[in-house]
Chain A
Amino acid sequence: MRHLRIPVTRIEGHGLITVHLGEDGRVREARFHVTEVRGFERFCVGRTIWEMPALTARICGICPVSHLLCSAKAGDAVLAVRIPRPAEKLRRLMNLGQIVQSHALSFFHLSSPDLLLGWDADPKVRNILGVAAFDRKLALDGIRLRAFGQEIIEILGGKRIHPAWAVPGGVNQPLTEEGRDRIAAKLPEAMRIAQDALAYYESRMGSWAEEIEHFGNFPSLFMALVAPDGSWEHYGGFLRVVDAERRIVADGLDPARYPEYIGEAVEPWSYLKFPYYKPYGYPEGMYRVGPLARLNCCERFGTKLADEALSRFRALAPGKAVTASFHYHYARLIEILGALEKIGELLSDPEILSTRVRAEAGINELEGVGVHEAPRGTLIHHYGVDETGVIRRVNLIVSTGHNNLAMNRTVAQIAEHWLSGREITEGLLNRLEGGIRAYDPCLSCSVHAVGRMPLRVVLVGPEGEILAERTRGA
């Protein structure tokens, strides 16, 4: 068997791709390796339940808010409290801000260089600065949109990165009238940017037909939270699993009972586990999470403009799920638009300014599960505590983990289509990266990894000998 190894850049964390060739020189298998380990699940043991939101937020500098909120939810479960309604609305507002800023980062800063300049463009210009030289408005729009999401986080939590704001039982600071008005004042510009980006994507889709066809386009299950009425959800509700035909495989799943339907497999070549849908077994139970899965799982978005966009999205695969991972980008843009609409709804709710934002309680349950939708997909924090509230056991399943099997399938599909001979061409390297990037993986989160992320691609022959290797620095 021959292998091809490719390092991945412009994603969040470190990665390595190996492509394994059979005797006939064709791609037999491709693997996306996550090569670092961090140990959060181990060193959280012995800490207090009240510290966990701020502690686990340190897993990531891009999505600290996701861990913060999910951890606070697990803490709510340990306290066995229903948090005050205004607190839930404020947490939702922050998560929507997080979705906007993270999706904007993924689309504009990380992926737009490929989309705009093409996969064969010179790597020196294929970055956000290259985008700025090519289309100044698009680059500036991206920066502004991300800043808007970050500002929501800052206004609510006191700082942009690692706010220690959500706590078990609610949040520790209400929203001021001045803060609300500051967010509201910038909302129209953000809406304009989101609509422009969506229109741009829809107008250019035709030119990416080959990539759409081969960047992880295969049937799989999709999993996401949906609201009790079936509409798009990011904070509460139940888990739903649909298949490639958009048939509901499982619905109303209690997120707290995830071990009953999610298994976690381990492979010796990656520090990232391989979650799968238990009833279908491993690896047949492969499912995808994140923007694409959320749109495939929900019946409607629940806001006007996003629902209009959703109907155009559905038209890509009438009656079925959209199975092309390339369209994660599309789904991300629709979610930005819908998130902004929902932010507008929350801001006009008078309860958002309430100061009743925290429920105080002691330790009432010895286990707590928090599940919510991070920008990249479903995030699960599961804690076991002793009678006094000291952490005894931690299990974290992050979005990038859920997508692990699908990302492996994606790199294999890209290698099959674009690899010719034994050479790692620039175009192949870039498409492998682009395929991974569509999932917006966060490897720092996924292995809970430290350090910078170069991507290496290694081509390995039938005897395990290395035929070619290319590395690109972070």
Chain B
Amino acid sequence: MIALTIDGIRIQAEEGETVLQAAKRAGIRIPTLCYLEGLSPRGACRLCLVEVRNWGGRLVPACATPVQEGMDVVAHSPRLLELRRAILEMLFAERNHICAFCVSNGHCELQDLAAELGMDHVRYPYRWLPFFVDLSHAKYGIDHNRCVLCGRCVRACAEVEGAATWGFSGRGIFTLVEADLGEPWGKSKTCTGCGKCVQACPTGALFEKGKATSEQRKKPEILAEVKERRPRA
């Protein structure tokens, strides 16, 4: 066992566990977005940043940092809240997240995080870049306007379904999640139509076709259930 402290609470963790897992067992909530139980950690969104006091105040992503003996972790502080809020604001400013008519309005992890972290303004200028909607798949649609590039769909497809249909194309803010080599989703030869990517997606970027505003509810927990052959909740 490894001993560490998170927010001043002494915790025992298993070797190989991440700071996020240890915190969760201790009942300490750390906000996450790109992390999803059942998928490999990616450390992409940086919302789970924590400060390790005895590493000179270094910021590390809790989801991708293994616990180490004697670590003194700060998971909640005014500095961290400010950083997380800034990250969230940048996510909102980068693409066109308009909740009012979104299929996931009311059931969206990005929206919930904004509420949790008290994000009542976006201080950065919105970029208003035009992205497209692809409804070519028989059952599902993808709206790149609402994509936060968390990669949960990419990992769910590769690690759980084993199809590896999704991948990233492009660079920086122009990055797109695309099927196969940039085919319209409906033309993909590798997609099995299982819908795990849709369930894994935290926003309204991936959705079931025919769902109207606020109607898309997701079950991201099924990824861990399938992967670990757990009984369905």
Contacts and interface: CB of A to CB of B under 8 A. Distances in A.
Contacts of A57: 101
B212 A54 contact: yes
Contact of B211 (A47, A50, A390): A50
User: Per DSSP, are chain B's interface residues mostly helix, strand or loop, or mixed?
Assistant: loop
Nearest to B102: A51
Interface string A189-214: 00000000000000000000000000
A162 B212 CA distance: 14
Interface in A32-83: 46-48, 50-51, 53-55, 57-58
B133 interface: yes
A167 B135 contact: no
B212 A168 contact: yes
Nearest to A363: B135
Nearest to A79: B210
B215 interface: yes
A362 B138 CA distance: 9
Nearest to A44: B101
Interface in A142-185: 162, 164, 167-168, 172
Given A48-B141, A51-B103, A55-B101, A388 B213 contact: no
Contacts of A389: 135, 209
Interface string B124-142: 0000001011111000010
Interface of B: 100-103, 105, 130, 132-136, 141, 143, 186, 209-215
A167 B209 contact: no
A48 B215 CA distance: 14
A408 to B, nearest CB: 34
B212 A172 contact: yes
Interface string A261-290: 000000000000000000000000000000
A154 to B, nearest CB: 15
A51 B212 contact: yes
Contacts of A229: none
A382 to B, nearest CB: 19
A172 B215 contact: yes
A162 B101 CA distance: 10
A390 B100 contact: no
A50 B132 CA distance: 16
B215 A58 contact: no
Contacts of B211: 50
Nearest to A164: B213
B133 A47 contact: yes
Contacts of B141: 48
A51 B213 contact: yes
A24 interface: no
